[in-house]
């Protein structure tokens, strides 16, 4: 069959699968953190560029997408205008109306970077997200994969400025920050105080938006993956009900892909926010505010010591902070 998808590639579909895929949709497949969550795709990438794939074989693949910042701000404002008013809590904060995942980033330096965001853009994006949180929207941001301080990236930096929005770093199965993306050791987890929490982001299997699995990604088409937590037991710890993204898919099945990066970590936290809201609804409790969701998630984290090699290759002048990750204890 011929598949169509929104945007420039499969990235958004992979993120959506980590967040809310339902494995019962097919005999085999993946299951997201919040299976069956109602998902709305808001397209903001409006320029696609076809480039030669980094893989050894296969035709050029369209993998990059670009957007005007004004389009992203407009999309955030549009979402904020659509959400319901679920009332306010005892502190006058709007209760949760939606969860937004933003696996996208700009950098505040240098100015010649194609992803540069000028000061006025930083202010506009911060204002839009702050206003949306005020409408009851919780945000989960990708912290980046460029081995740099996440505080230079937007919207990741906004997580440290707005209560009810969080920047998420990518962690491996052994509890350390991500060390590479598809074998590219130059792409490692961003770090620093703006990374508020870490979640599984290495080798995450999810839904995809183009037919077929490329063989040079190291996936054996004859292998059936057993059901297992992609975050790994050491990263998640014991307990329920917050599961990591899981999979029992055959590696060669169409429309599934393995990816790494904070783009895959962020929807784990977005999914946890939805599970918290779902539990409140099932127990007839008032919905939490975005700020309360952040507080609850942070209360369910555990600290890991800094990696021995400065987060897998950070400059020696950088003193890494202990890693704080989400656990699966009861909310």
Q: Which has the closest alpha carbon to 123: 143, 109, 108?
A: 108
Residue 181 placed within a domain: yes
Quick one: tokens of 281? Answer: 């609804």
Q: Is the pLDDT of residue 322 over 90?
A: no
What average pLDDT score do residues 268-297 get? 94
Q: Is the pLDDT of residue 249 over 60?
A: no
Question: Contact, 180 vs 264, CB < 8 A?
Answer: no
Radius of gyration of the chain (CA): 19
**How many Å separate Cα 213 from the centre of its chain?**
22
Residue 81 placed within a domain: yes
- Would you state the pLDDT for residue 318? 32
Q: How many structural domains comprise the chain?
A: 1
Residue 299 placed within a domain: yes
Please state the pTM of the whole predicted model.
0.78
Q: Which has the closest alpha carbon to 198: 328, 16, 323?
A: 323
Residue 260 placed within a domain: yes
Residue 5 placed within a domain: no
Residue 87 placed within a domain: yes
Share of the chain above pLDDT 70, in %: 64
- Would you state the pLDDT for residue 36? 84
pLDDT grade, residue 286 (50/70/90)? very high
| Ramachandran quadrant class, 147 (left: phi over 0; alpha: psi -120 to 50; beta: rest) | left
Q: Is the pLDDT of residue 97 over 60?
A: yes
For 125-179, what is each residue's pLDDT tens digit? 999 999 999 999 999 999 998 888 999 999 999 999 999 999 999 888 777 777 7
Task: Name the residue with higher pLDDT: 223 or 183.
Answer: 183
Q: Is the pLDDT of residue 302 over 70?
A: yes
Which range marks the domain in which residue 84 is found? 11-326
Residue 246 placed within a domain: yes
d(CA 143, CA 159): 9
Domain CATH code at residue 243:
3.40.50.200
For 7-27, what is each residue's pLDDT tens digit? 456 788 889 999 998 877 556
Q: Is the pLDDT of residue 62 over 80?
A: no
Residue 331 placed within a domain: no
Q: What angle do CA 125, 127, 132 make, to 5 degrees?
A: 95
Give the least confident one: 47-51, 92-96, 165-169, 246-250: 246-250
pLDDT grade, residue 68 (50/70/90)? confident
**Most confident of the following: 88-92, 110-114, 195-199, 229-233:** 88-92
């Amino acid at each position: 069959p011929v598949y169509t998808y929104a945007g420039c590639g499969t990235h958004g579909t992979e993120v959506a699968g980590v967040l809310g895929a339902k494995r019962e949709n097919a005999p085999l497949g993946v299951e997201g953190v919040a299976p069956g969550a109602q998902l709305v795709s808001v397209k903001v990438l409006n320029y696609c560029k076809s480039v030669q794939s980094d893989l050894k074989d296969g035709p050029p693949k369209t993998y990059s997408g670009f957007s005007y910042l004004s389009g992203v701000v407009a999309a955030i404002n549009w979402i904020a205008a659509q959400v319901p008013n679920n009332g306010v809590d005892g502190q006058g904060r709007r209760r949760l109306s939606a969860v937004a995942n933003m696996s996208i980033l700009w950098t505040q330096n240098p100015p010649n970077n194609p992803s540069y965001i000028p000061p006025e853009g930083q202010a506009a994006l911060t204002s839009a997200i702050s206003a949306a949180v005020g409408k009851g929207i919780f945000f989960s941001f990708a912290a980046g994969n460029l081995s740099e301080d996440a505080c230079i990236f937007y919207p990741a930096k906004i997580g440290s400025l707005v209560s009810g929005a969080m920047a998420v770093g990518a962690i491996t199965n052994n509890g350390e920050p991500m060390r590479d993306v598809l074998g590219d050791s130059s792409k490692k987890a961003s770090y620093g105080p703006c990374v508020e929490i870490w979640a599984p982001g290495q080798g995450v299997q999810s839904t995809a938006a183009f037919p077929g699995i490329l063989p040079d990604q190291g996936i054996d088409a004859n292998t059936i993956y057993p059901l297992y937590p992609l975050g790994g037991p050491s990263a998640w710890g014991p307990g329920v009900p917050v599961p990591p993204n899981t999979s029992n898919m055959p590696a060669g099945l169409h429309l599934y892909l393995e990816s790494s990066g904070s783009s895959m970590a962020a929807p784990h936290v977005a999914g946890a926010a939805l599970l918290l809201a779902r539990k409140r609804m099932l127990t007839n409790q008032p919905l939490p505010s975005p700020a309360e969701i952040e507080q609850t998630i942070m209360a369910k984290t555990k600290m890991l010591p800094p990696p021995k090699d400065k987060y897998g290759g950070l400059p020696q002048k950088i003193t890494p902070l202990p890693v704080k990750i989400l656990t699966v204890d009861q909310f």
